[in-house]
Amino acid sequence: ETGVTQSPTHLIKTRGQQVTLRCSSQSGHNTVSWYQQALGQGPQFIFQYYREEENGRGNFPPRFSGLQFPNYSSELNVNALELDDSALYLCASSLVGAPGEKLFFGSGTQLSVL
Amino acid sequence: AQRVTQPEKLLSVFKGAPVELKCNYSYSGSPELFWYVQYSRQRLQLLLRHISRESIKGFTADLNKGETSFHLKKPFAQEEDSAMYYCALSDPMNYGGSQGNLIFGKGTKLSVKP
């Protein structure tokens, strides 16, 4: 059983650029959630994907978008990067409908916007 | 507004001393409450959830709806308990039963000294 993997681990971008972060779900999971964790803060919910459709969104602007693929892997895209987008981005997968559904987190992608 | 508050950024205790990590929440529905832990150089992982009413690694947490609290307790702290602890809530009714939309507190860093 493989865990949640994220790539890349670190990324440096310039303000105004676009970025794509990737996440491979844990085997057998059908839901992916993305979180943004700024320094010194707890993770903040961005959105969740279930069966390739967005299934809920936190308080993030439309320039944050995502995709979930048939193999349940996922991408987080951020357009028009701003300095405040610098953060650790966490991906978590789960199996909706399973008794005691449990989130499994990846190690994250550290994004720095200069 | 939906909110999870962890009033202490840092809690330092000696080995063998009791530990209580405080968590208060503000939510109008019927949330589920969780404690997540992140040990040094490891991923964020679930420690326990209120509906399970279980003890994990000697930790327990009781949901007090009257005080809207979900404090984490352990009678005798161990050095290996040193970690970052996050309290979180979710409302599965809003997301088709999924636990993926967690609202996290800012976390408390527990340091257990020998």
Average pLDDT in chain B: 90
pLDDT of A2 reads: 67
pLDDT above 70 covers a percentage of chain B that reads 93
The answer to whether residue A104 scores a pLDDT higher than 70 is: yes
Amino acid type, B52:
S
Q: What is the pLDDT of residues A30-70, one digit of tens each?
A: 899 999 999 999 999 999 998 889 988 889 999 999 999 98
pLDDT of B98 reads: 62
Could you tell me which residues come within 8 angstroms of residue B24 by beta carbon, excluding any fewer than 6 positions away?
B4, B5, B7, B67, B68, B69, B70
Mean predicted confidence (pLDDT) in B62-79: 94
Residue B46: list chain A partners with CB under 8 A: 102-103
The answer to whether residue B97 scores a pLDDT higher than 70 is: no
Kind and range of the H or E run holding B88: strand B83-90
Smallest Cβ–Cβ distance between A101 and the set B4, B45, B98 belongs to B98
Mapped onto helix, strand or coil, the DSSP state of residue A27 is coil
* Rounded-to-integer distance, Cα B24 and Cα B69, Å: 4
pLDDT of B92 reads: 62
pLDDT band at A20 (very low <50, low <70, confident <90, very high): very high
Residue-by-residue DSSP string for B23-45: -EEE-SS--EEEEEEE-TTS--E
Residue B107: list chain A partners with CB under 8 A: 41-42
CB A16 within 8 A of CB A105: no
pLDDT above 90 covers a percentage of chain A that reads 72
Average pLDDT in chain A: 92
Minimum CA–CA partner of A4 in chain B: B43
* Rounded-to-integer distance, Cα A61 and Cα A83, Å: 15
Mean predicted confidence (pLDDT) in B70-81: 96
pLDDT of B53 reads: 75
Measured between CA atoms, how close is A111 to chain B, in angstroms?
A: 17
Mean predicted confidence (pLDDT) in B41-63: 88
Smallest Cβ–Cβ distance between B44 and the set A48, A101, A105 belongs to A105
* Rounded-to-integer distance, Cα B101 and Cα B90, Å: 6
Smallest Cβ–Cβ distance between A41 and the set B95, B101, B106 belongs to B106
Could you tell me which residues come within 8 angstroms of residue B105 by beta carbon, excluding any fewer than 6 positions away?
A42, B4, B5, B6, B23, B86, B87, B88
Phi-psi map region of B93: left, alpha, beta (phi>0 left; psi -120 to 50 alpha)? alpha
Highest mean pLDDT of the ranges A27-41, A48-62, A75-89, B54-68: A75-89
